[in-house]
Amino acid sequence: MHQEASEHAADVDSRGAKFFIAEEGPSFWQPVPANGFVRCLLNGAKLGTTTPFSMGTQTVAPGGCYVREHAHDRSEEVIFFYAGSGGSVVIDDIEYPVKPETAVYLGVNCRHKFVNNGADDLSFMWFLMPGGIEEFFESVGRVRHPGDPAPEPFARPDNVQEIEARTVFASGVSGTNSAAKD
């Protein structure tokens, strides 16, 4: 017989199983050109895992918004699209359409960009190994609380190159800044 756990329980049992409710974790509105928001759900460093990783979600606003081209010089990334249509991922200058239930693996230093040309939000789960991207999202974004309306589009901070260099981004992806380009 199964026991029913508390809906918001973080510790499930002594073996290390944990529950996290997406809207209860850290979340940040993202600057242009992505707009939308991220939710940072799991972090291996905070959990004390043997394999370092980060996992969360990102929602990119519709109508041509996008996650700038970038690469991770120390991390592999898995992306799983779960909502939206009209999106694509651009990998090394080749555009691939995506739809819900599309999975993408991105190796170390693989240049990539996510584009939402659809009419609705494009949402995906991201998983980085090793992790550390949460600091970037927090540093460039604004705190988001569930139910808050989206803010007016806002610019990235002036020191974005410094933030990228100290987090999980490869340098030299473009000439416009150290890790990401439009």
Q: What CATH number corresponds to the domain at position 38?
A: 2.60.120.10
In a domain, 166, yes or no: no
In a domain, 16, yes or no: no
Indicate the pLDDT class of residue 72, thresholds 50, 70 and 90.
Answer: very high
* For range 23-28, the mean pLDDT: 90
Residue 2: how many other CB atoms lie within 10 Å: 4
In a domain, 108, yes or no: yes
**HEC assignment per residue over the chain:** CCCCCCCCCCECCCCCCECCCHHHCCEEECCCCCCCEEEEEEEHHHHCCCCCCEEEEEEECCCCEEEEEECCCCCEEEEEEEECCCEEEEECCEEEEECCCEEEEECCCCCEEEEECCCCCEEEEEEEECCCCHHHHHHHCEECCCCCCCCCCCCCCCCHHHHHHHCCCCCCCCCCCCCCEC
Q: Dihedrals φ, ψ of 135, to 5°?
A: -60, -40
Tens-place pLDDT, residues 78-132: 999 999 999 999 999 999 999 999 999 999 999 999 999 999 999 999 999 999 8
In a domain, 85, yes or no: yes
Burial per residue of 27-50, b for 16 or more beta-carbon CB atoms within 10 angstroms, e otherwise? bbbbbebbbbbbbbbbbbeeeeee
Q: Higher-confidence residue: 172 or 45? A: 45
* Count of the separate structural domains present in the chain: 1
pLDDT of residue 6: 47
In a domain, 82, yes or no: yes
Give the rounded percent of residues in the chain with a pLDDT score beyond 90: 71
Q: What is the extent of the structural domain holding 62?
A: 28-144
pLDDT of residue 13: 56
In a domain, 56, yes or no: yes
In a domain, 182, yes or no: no
Q: Per-residue pLDDT for 170 more than 50?
A: yes
Indicate the pLDDT class of residue 177, thresholds 50, 70 and 90.
Answer: very low
pLDDT of residue 8: 44
pLDDT of residue 172: 65
Indicate the pLDDT class of residue 173, thresholds 50, 70 and 90.
Answer: low
